[in-house]
Amino acid sequence: MENKILIVEDDIVNMKILNSIITNHGFNLLNAKNGSEALKLLENNQIIGAILDLNLPDINGLEILKAIRNNSVNKNAAILIVTENHDKLDTVIGLEIGADDYITKPFHHRELLARLNAALRRTKSTEKTCTNIITYGDLEIDIDKRLVKKHNMTINLSFKEFEILYLLASNPGRVISRETILDNVGGLDYSPGTRVVDMHISSIRKKLGEKDFYIDTVSGIGYRFRE
């Protein structure tokens, strides 16, 4: 597969900047100046990643994000969304429905490459390990289908919740620090003292059933999936 990166950006100047940055690092580019062009390119190409501006003139960028995640060929592509400072809500929604990470304009080219490469490493790692089903009692985590079932009933987890549960469940008995979760699950808030991991864990526990404790809290460190 060619190393194709889809860039969706309606601003010509920004598109040229992104092209200049990405082409110098061994990637092949597909350019779309709006959502319609992006959807057409996705129909005929397999990509390893996408840099997606959410503010598009025709289709909401979140719809393009959904289209990538719902595409059987491109669903595992690394997705980096580009936002403005005031687009916090759209950023959060984008992360919840499947973006790996985000970057805010204006950005330094080295930060863009660092975030893109980190997202690509995560997706490659996931592709290598997503070949089985993790079971724990009546809990079943289907990695390939990204489905979680309990008593054969589907548990609806957000994209990030699934990523966190998978990280913990694939390392049973191992204490996973909050920092490790932040490093491995893209798009989470990296600010010091953040409680975003704790909030996601709380939500996962509630959805799995608070009486069934699959995840232990290790005080002052992080979390552990029971062996």
Q: Do residue 83 and residue 56 come from a single domain?
A: yes
| pLDDT score at 193 | 55
State the pTM of this model. 0.58
- Predicted confidence (pLDDT) per residue in 19-28, tens digit: 988 887 878 8
Instruction: Enumerate residues 6+ apart whose C-beta is below 8 A from 219.
Output: none
| pLDDT score at 125 | 59
Q: Do residue 94 and residue 183 come from a single domain?
A: no
Q: Do residue 136 and residue 101 come from a single domain?
A: no
**Gap between the Cα atoms of 139 and 137, Å rounded:** 5
Q: How many structural domains comprise the chain?
A: 2
Q: Do residue 101 and residue 15 come from a single domain?
A: yes
**Residue finishing a domain among 128, 144, 169:** 128
Distances (CA, A) of 173 to 10, 80, 98, 198, 214: 47, 32, 27, 19, 11
Contact 97, 65 (CB under 8 A): yes
Max CA separation in the chain (angstroms): 54
Q: Do residue 96 and residue 208 come from a single domain?
A: no
Q: Edge to edge, what strands does the sheet with 101-104 contain?
A: 28-32, 4-8, 49-53, 78-83, 101-104
- Predicted confidence (pLDDT) per residue in 147-191, tens digit: 999 988 999 998 889 999 998 998 888 888 888 888 777 666 555
**Residue finishing a domain among 112, 128, 144:** 128
Structural domain span for residue 146: 131-225
| pLDDT score at 210 | 67
* Regions of the chain with pLDDT less than 50: 1, 129-130
Structure tokens that stand for 190 in this block? 């990296």
Q: Do residue 175 and residue 218 come from a single domain?
A: yes
